[in-house]
């Protein structure tokens, strides 16, 4: 199994910043994509940002462009999400995700989630 451990969530005021970290361990052979999703109660989980080996650019959801920056090193099984200029609508549980290919197909793995709360 692959385990993803997240950290860095918390409570901040609007305009504040947080940095999320994720490290993968376990049966890792060839991770191709790592990223961050978020989910609020009653809503679908949405992709916030991701990085993929060989990709020219990283992906960002329109709502976070210019405010969030994803970074990391897939080869070292780490990914970060720097979140600046946070807004109340960014409040959600954030999940780290990793995909790897083995046994003829892709497999997805998820962290336990970390709460981000933006409020006055």
Contact 116, 91 (CB under 8 A): yes
Question: What was the pLDDT predicted at 29?
Answer: 86
Question: What was the pLDDT predicted at 30?
Answer: 87
Q: Which of 4-8, 23-27, 35-39, 99-103 has the lowest mean pLDDT?
A: 99-103
pLDDT over 90 at 75, yes or no: no
Contact 23, 78 (CB under 8 A): yes
15-71 pLDDT tens trace: 999 999 999 999 888 899 999 999 999 999 999 999 999 888 999 999 999 999 999
């Amino acid at each position: 199994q692959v385990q993803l451990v997240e950290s860095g969530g918390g409570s901040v005021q609007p305009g504040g910043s947080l940095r999320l970290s994720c490290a993968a361990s376990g049966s890792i052979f060839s991770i191709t994509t790592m990223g961050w999703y978020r989910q609020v109660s009653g809503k679908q989980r949405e992709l916030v940002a991701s990085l993929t080996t060989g990709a020219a650019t990283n992906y960002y959801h329109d709502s976070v462009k210019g405010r969030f920056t994803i970074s990391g090193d897939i080869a070292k099984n780490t990914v970060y999400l720097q979140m600046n200029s946070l807004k109340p609508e960014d409040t959600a549980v954030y999940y780290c995700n990793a995909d790897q290919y083995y046994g003829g197909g892709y497999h997805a793995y998820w962290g336990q989630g970390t709460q981000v709360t933006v409020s006055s």
